[in-house]
Amino acid sequence: MKGSWNSTTIIIPFTLFSLIFLFISKCQDVFGVPTEHLCHPGQRDALLELKKEFEIKKPCSDGALPPKTESWANHSDCCYWEGITCNPKSGEVIELDLSRGCLQGRFHSNTSLFRVQNLPFLTTLDLSYNYFSGHIPSSIENFSHLTTLDLSKNYFSGGIPSSVGNLSHLTFLDLSGNEFVGEMPYFGNMNQLTNLNVDSNELTGTFPLPLLNLTMLSDLSLSRNQFTGTLPSKMSSLSNLEYFEAWGNAFTGTLPSSLFTIPSLTSIDLRNNQLNGVLDFGNISSPSSTLTVLDISNNNFIGPIPRSISNFINLQDLDLSYLNTQGPVDFSIFMNLKSLLLLNLSHLNTTTTIDLNALLSSHLNSIYSVDLSGNHVSATTKTPVADHHQLISQLYLSGCGITEFPELLRSQVNITNLDISNNKIKGQVPGWLWTLPNLIFVDLSNNTFSGFERPTELGPSFITTKPSMQYLVASKNNFTGNIPSSICALRSLITLDLSDNNLNGSIPHCMGNLKSTLSFLNLRHNRLGGGLPKNIFKSLRSLDVGHNQLVGKLPRSFIHLSTLEVLNVENNRLNDTFPSWLSSLKKLQVLVLRSNAFHGPIHHASFRTLRIIDLSRNHFSGTLPSNYFVNWNAMSSLGGNEDPSSKENYLGDSFRYYHDSMVLTNKGVEMELVRILKIYTALDFSENKFEGEIPRSIGLLKELHVLNLSSNDFTGHIPSSMGNLRELESLDVSQNKLSGEIPQELGNLSYLAYMNFSFNQLGGLLPGGTQFRRQKCSSFGDNLGLYGPSLDEVCVDIHASTPQEHEQPESEEEEKEMFSWIAAAIGLGPGIAFGLTIGYILVCYKPEWFMNHFQRNKHRSRRRRSTTKLKKEPN
């Protein structure tokens, strides 16, 4: 009894307190902010409608934060929603900031956002970093109070509406990183504008002259568009300009010297244009200037560097690379520039030899990075190293005609990046190089080094601290003997490239020490023997040991290489069964077993992530079940394992220090892919002993570019499902025992530039279609009885003496053909472009092989003609 009374005395005050608390919190509006919502219901509804109109993209790269619009809900005050700012008095929404909102959707003429009557007092509209697409409606001009408009980093397309130019209160306009096309509209009325950025679109036309009236402009970026024509000669009206960027266009003409009279100018970046003529900075008499960045590299300037450059005493970043000086350069003119951090003077085509010692003895006290590549550099020190020596971090001396390893680098204890590739340095790589404590990146490739000097003077720092080296590229030298085990001491290595040397012996087991970091290992084109090491490479992304003399099996421990993307063991003597167990590697994209002694059946395996598989020139045998390719997802549809954040087009490391390569038979020619496009797909099972039918499931590999099944014992019909391989460029099924007809569906494959059906038992009507008419006659040779108009056309060269046949197209049919020809040519656009891309990155591997092949084919086509004609008669 007592006890319960006691508990009531506790409960009552507690409840009372809660009620009071509840009352206070309920009525907080009364005490704090006004009772009625600040937000106008009409504006709230408009915003909710807007929210409904766009999807939230999932996953979204800024996924760490919940998307802003998630906080938007009816029954709460819109002025407190994330991204919304209201006028504190009127309650009107004045700022809408949806940046990085993960929003996705297509804008159209009546997108609710642009119904201006909904949000008439908007001063700031920020839609940047979303996934919006479509056109900007011209009604945007009715947001007449806007001072800030940021539509950057979306997928907006079409023209920039001219009505944007009516927003005369704008101070900040950012349209960068979209897909806007056409010319820039008239912006001459926006005289409050301080920031204008149209970077990274597809804008065309000449420099928009009305911009010269925008005297408040301080930040102007036109970079990465397709602007042409000259820069205006009188730019000094932009009297408040600080940052002028127009790099990556096609501007021509001279560099306007009027730019340099603008007193506020801080940064000029005009690299990668076609500016020409002689450099002239105008009349900069006194050494005073706010200019800190001057990048005019990769243009077509000719002639001397004006001495007046030495007046830009505040320059921190100077890039004059590819300035065609065509004569001597006095390098002392740079020695006044005491604020320099980055100096790029590469490829100046100068007759002057640069004295590295003099540069390093200078008083450029802040210098951090120097690039002298492509000039003649003298790096020898006849005199003892000067007592004063500038310490730099990055030194690029590629292609400088250097013949001895520069001894003066020995004292460069701060150096992190050293590129000394493409020189003529002989002998040993000095041992002291490894003792430089901060070295991260070393490129020694394309010299004639013969060995690594033993690092005798390994200081205590080398032993006790983690060695810093991460990238060691030593390819294309004359290294002989074993791979030095001292490499194993470089425990931070990420990339090791010793390809194209004369190394022999086996791959050292001590490389197991590198297992925690090593990601790219390239030992291609050496004379290495023995087996592949078993104990190593836990974080490997790419292993290339092609073109060696390795024996034995693929170590089963490779099953733990969970990050492996590329495995290339081509041209060795590996003798193993098919490694179907590799299908458990979730990242594997490229598997090349070409030219080894692999044998036996290729068991059912689903390589979900593989895009390139080359099993050619082995001893694989057996049949392939018809569903063999059912789960090969990456070849069936792109995008499955693409990394959207990666802008890099080729396989390799993200710093572009390393690119994967491989040999591939494409379009009947064996070639070396020096880089592998990430979207490239190929399947090569040629020159094995596969038998039975070609699996029908091959038709699922819709993204396949190259298919080679030649020189096997495949029988039966060519599956008509191959007609689904709409990306196919090269198809080779020659030298099998295929029978029946060539499926008519193949006639629709518009990218199929090369095909080879020869040496089979095929018969029947050859498909029509442009691509079939473009083949060489020999592609169909040595079959049982192919016939048809396409064949007559491709084999026309054989009865070449009747040219009139060609000149007199008569029937409607011919006209139709012409039409389909044109249509196909249009359809072919991307295919051609792709072919060109590949062509650009291909190095013809064995041209003489190509010639022989070509001549052999010519013979065959002669032989085949009569059978074709004969078989045509019964029709």
Ligand X SMILES: *[C@@H]1O[C@H](CO)[C@@H](O)[C@H](O)[C@H]1NC(C)=O
Binding site for ligand X (CB under 6 A): 45, 48, 74, 108-110, 138-139, 141-142, 163, 166, 188, 209-210, 212-213, 324, 326, 349, 351, 391, 399, 414, 422-424, 446, 448, 450, 478, 480, 575, 597
Q: Which strand (E) or helix (H) includes residue 473?
A: strand 471-473
DSSP state of 28: H
356 versus 612: smaller Cβ distance to ligand X: 356
Reported as half-sphere exposure (CB side, CA atoms, 13 A), residue 86 has a value of: 19
The distance of closest approach from Cβ of residue 596 to ligand X in the complex, given in angstroms and rounded to an integer, is: 8
The distance of closest approach from Cβ of residue 398 to ligand X in the complex, given in angstroms and rounded to an integer, is: 9
Beta pairing partners, 96: 84, 125
The distance of closest approach from Cβ of residue 349 to ligand X in the complex, given in angstroms and rounded to an integer, is: 4
CB 198 within 8 A of CB 172: no
CB 755 within 8 A of CB 775: yes
324 versus 486: smaller Cβ distance to ligand X: 324
Instruction: List the one residue out of 311, 341, 326, 323 whose CA is nearest residue 273.
Output: 323
Q: Which strand (E) or helix (H) includes residue 300?
A: strand 300-301
Cα separation of 578 and 792, whole Å? 43
Whole-Å CA distances, 648 to 470, 643, 676, 836: 20, 10, 11, 18
74 versus 584: smaller Cβ distance to ligand X: 74
Structure tokens belonging to residue 406: 């520069």
443 versus 565: smaller Cβ distance to ligand X: 443
Reported as half-sphere exposure (CB side, CA atoms, 13 A), residue 279 has a value of: 23
Q: Is the peptide bond before 743 cis (omega within 30 degrees of 0)?
A: no
Q: Is 865 exposed, middle or buried (0-12, 13-18, 19+ CB in 10 A)?
A: middle
The distance of closest approach from Cβ of residue 688 to ligand X in the complex, given in angstroms and rounded to an integer, is: 13
The distance of closest approach from Cβ of residue 391 to ligand X in the complex, given in angstroms and rounded to an integer, is: 4
Provide DSSP, 378-435. E---SSPPPSS----SEEE-TTS---S--GGGGG-TT--EEE--SS--EEEEPGGGGG
The distance of closest approach from Cβ of residue 753 to ligand X in the complex, given in angstroms and rounded to an integer, is: 28
The distance of closest approach from Cβ of residue 672 to ligand X in the complex, given in angstroms and rounded to an integer, is: 12
Q: Give the strand pairing for 93-97 and 84-86.
A: antiparallel
* Number of residues in the chain: 875
47 versus 749: smaller Cβ distance to ligand X: 47
The distance of closest approach from Cβ of residue 588 to ligand X in the complex, given in angstroms and rounded to an integer, is: 24
118 versus 446: smaller Cβ distance to ligand X: 446
Residue environment code for 370-408, b if the CB has 16+ CB neighbours within 10 A, otherwise e? bbbbbbebbbbbeeeeeeeebebbbbbbbbbebeebbeb
Identity (one letter) of the amino acid at 788? Answer: G
424 versus 799: smaller Cβ distance to ligand X: 424
20 versus 73: smaller Cβ distance to ligand X: 73
Mapped to the 3 state alphabet, what secondary structure does 322-382 carry? CCECCCCCCHHHHCCCCCCCEEECCCCCCCCCEEHHHHHCCCCCCCCEEECCCCCEECCCC
Structure tokens belonging to residue 355: 């004295």
440 versus 725: smaller Cβ distance to ligand X: 440
251 versus 607: smaller Cβ distance to ligand X: 251
166 versus 267: smaller Cβ distance to ligand X: 166
The distance of closest approach from Cβ of residue 91 to ligand X in the complex, given in angstroms and rounded to an integer, is: 16
Cα separation of 231 and 516, whole Å? 53
The distance of closest approach from Cβ of residue 212 to ligand X in the complex, given in angstroms and rounded to an integer, is: 6
Cα separation of 769 and 824, whole Å? 9
185 versus 306: smaller Cβ distance to ligand X: 185
Residue environment code for 235-256, b if the CB has 16+ CB neighbours within 10 A, otherwise e? bbebeebbbbbbbbbebbbebb
499 versus 779: smaller Cβ distance to ligand X: 499
Identity (one letter) of the amino acid at 309? Answer: I
